[in-house]
Amino acid sequence: MTTTQTSTLPAIDATHDSALQSWVMSANGHPQFPIQNLPLGVFDAGEGARIGTAIGNEVLDLAAALEWGLLPTLDMATEAALHSDTLNAWMALSAAQRSLLRAALSDLLQAQTASGRQASAFARQLLRPQDACRMLLPADVGDYSDFYAGIHHAVNAGRIFRPDNPLLPNYKHVPIAYHGRSSSIRPSGTPLQRPIGQIRRDTPEGPAPELGPTERLDYELELAIWVGAGNPLGTQIPIEQASAHIAGFGLFNDWSARDLQAWEYQPLGPFTGKNFMSSVSPWVVTQEALAPFRGPAMARAEGDPRPLPYLNHEDDQRNGGLRIQLEVLLSTASMREQGLAPHRLSIGDSSHLYWTPAQMLTQQTIGGCNARAGDLLGSGTISAPTPDGYGALLEITEGGKKPVQLANGETRTFLQDGDEIIFRGWCEREGFARIGLGECRGRVQG
């Protein structure tokens, strides 16, 4: 049985028109933030935390736009949300309110509209150069769940940890996740302190732990899924409504200490091997912006079970998948000293997620868990079927057995002090402007 209720996925509309041009000149043809994108974030340009929209190389200060009377069509709840210092109140708005805000911003930033011509006269009061802004965490993250929806990563990692049983039988029936540590989520660019913990050592008497800094520090390439309006405790978000409860997306690095993880993960799963820090990109690319870049959910292999009816919605299977290109780069301290460009470790895309974002959110709430605006879901590590698209060093190096040869002659099995990991994401489709998710960066400190 497949549920067939009406879809809540946003539709393609006039804001996606590839012919739109902005009076912010750097936005026209921008590979990340053209007028067709309009992601939201929280920035500080010396006046404290404020909500802005990325447009080209600039940030549009939304509180300033309201103060100058340039967004008169917004309702009071939306105005109040934009005067906040986090995106939680914006995320709590209805999908219809978020769509109306997007339409108003598109109109305001277009070169040929009356409101655009009016706004351009206030450019100095409205715009802040992105490189002069400190980007903050987009929302106050109350709760964070990390899913395991990248099936190729699940199989590859399973072969390392459980060679005889890499993919457990529940994987194709239920979106698997664990409850992570929201307090240690930090915005892109925050340095990572190498964690310490218990590491297994093999002795003549058998395995025994030793306390020390991780020797197998890794990254995990994931999508951040930002929850919008939540649900009361004891209720569920049905699959046919789940997309309306997702505010937007970003890039997410679920840093992992593989040696700590290997010692502690049974029988209860991740703990200190995961909780020391996770990095998230600062811009929230909205559900509405991604409408042209939707596609079918990942096709299930012949013989795979059908999802239970509560996870099986016809339109989600047809349009609930995402088509986001994802790239991982590594910059070592030596590379930066030599002025060398970062080394690409992998490139793939989000179509390799076995479960859709809507299925993940529905599973999160099926038992009556109350989701809240600003909660964060990690997609799980996204890997392509081939090594050039693997989403973690654990896979690329086969658990440390095959070092990566870098362009400058260095090698890596796992991350060393001074290494910087850079995630990039973007969407392309013929007939539409390319848009990006920006970057998620983090540099390892000793």
2 inside domain: no
Per DSSP, 351 falls in state: G
Listed residue (298, 393, 14) closest to 307, CA to CA: 298
312 and 428 in one domain?
yes
Q: Judge if 223 and 273 occupy the same domain.
A: yes
Work out the mean pLDDT of the chain and round it to a whole number: 96
Tokens of 238: 């049905």
Q: Please provide the DSSP assignment of 74-115 as one string.
A: S-HHHHHHHTSSSSHHHHTS-HHHHHHHHHHHHHHHBSSSHH
pLDDT above 90 for 401: yes
In a domain, 9, yes or no: no
Cα 414 → chain centroid: 23
1 domain residue, yes or no: no
Residues belonging to the chain:
446
Q: What pLDDT is attached to residue 7? A: 64
- Give 38's strand partners: none
Per-residue confidence at 6, pLDDT binned at 50, 70, 90?
Answer: low
Q: Are residues 289 and 417 located together in one domain of the fold?
A: yes
103, 135, 167: which is the final residue of a domain? 135
Structural domain range at position 88: 14-135
Mark whether 68 and 166 lie in a shared domain.
no
**306 plus 428 within the same structural domain:** yes
Q: pLDDT tens, 255-271?
A: 999 999 999 988 888 99
274 is in an annotated binding site: yes
Residue of 193, 187, 70 lying closest to 133 (CA atoms): 187
Helix, strand, or coil here: 126?
helix
The CATH code of the domain that includes 266 is 3.90.850.10
Is 224 in the same domain as 170?
A: yes
pLDDT score of 2: 46
Asked whether residue 64 is assigned to any structural domain, the reply reads yes
Section 55-67 average pLDDT = 98
Both 125 and 164 in a single domain?
Answer: no
Cβ neighbour number for residue 211 with a 10 Å cutoff? 8
Report the pLDDT value the prediction gives residue 4, as an integer from 0 to 100.
44
The whole-number pLDDT of residue 105 equals 98
Tell me the sheet residues that pair with 226.
248, 376
Q: What is the structure's pLDDT at 83?
A: 98
Instruction: Look at the pTM and tell me if it is higher than 0.85.
Output: yes
Residues sharing a CB contact under 8 Å with residue 417, sequence separation 6 or more, in sequence order: 194, 333, 444, 445, 446
315-370 pLDDT, tens per residue?
Answer: 999 999 999 999 999 999 999 999 999 999 999 999 999 999 999 999 999 999 99
In a domain, 224, yes or no: yes
What pLDDT band is residue 446 in, cutting at 50, 70 and 90? confident
Distance of alpha carbon 446 from alpha carbon 284, whole angstroms: 30
381 assigned to a ligand binding site = yes
Same-domain status, 187 and 123:
no
Mean pLDDT of 9-25: 97
The structure tokens 């200490």 sit at: 257
- pLDDT tens profile 83-139: 999 999 999 999 999 999 999 999 999 999 999 999 999 999 999 999 999 999 999
Instruction: Give the span between the Cα atoms of 145 and 237, in whole angstroms.
Output: 16
222 labeled binding residue: yes
Residue 160's pLDDT is: 86
Q: What is the pLDDT of residues 193-224, one digit of tens each?
A: 999 999 999 999 999 999 999 999 999 999 99
Q: Token digits for 169?
A: 């039988």
Domain C-terminal end among 104, 135, 166: 135
Q: Are residues 370 and 412 in the same domain?
A: yes
218 labelled binding-site residue: no
For residues 431 and 165, which has the higher predicted lDDT (pLDDT)? 431
Is 99 part of any domain? yes
**178 in a known ligand binding site:** no
Structurally, how many domains does the chain consist of?
A: 2
Is 36's pLDDT higher than 70?
Answer: yes
299 shares a domain with 276: yes
Place of tokens 């913990």: 197
146 known member of a binding site: yes
Nearest to 88 by CA among 76, 104, 77: 77
Query: Are 163 and 188 part of one and the same domain?
Result: yes
Write down the catalytic residue from 16, 30, 153, 313.
153
Is 245 among the residues known to form the active site? no
Q: How far is CA 378 from CA 60, 144, 255, 395, 403, in A?
A: 28, 8, 12, 19, 27
Can you tell me the distance from the alpha carbon of 187 to that of 314, in angstroms, rounded to the nearest whole number? Answer: 36
Strands, DSSP E only, in 281-434? 285-286, 294-295, 321-322, 325-331, 343-349, 376-378, 404-405, 411-412, 420-427
pLDDT of 3 reads 46
The pLDDT tens digits of the residues spanning 125-182 come to 999 999 999 999 999 999 999 999 999 999 999 888 788 888 989 999 999 999 999 9
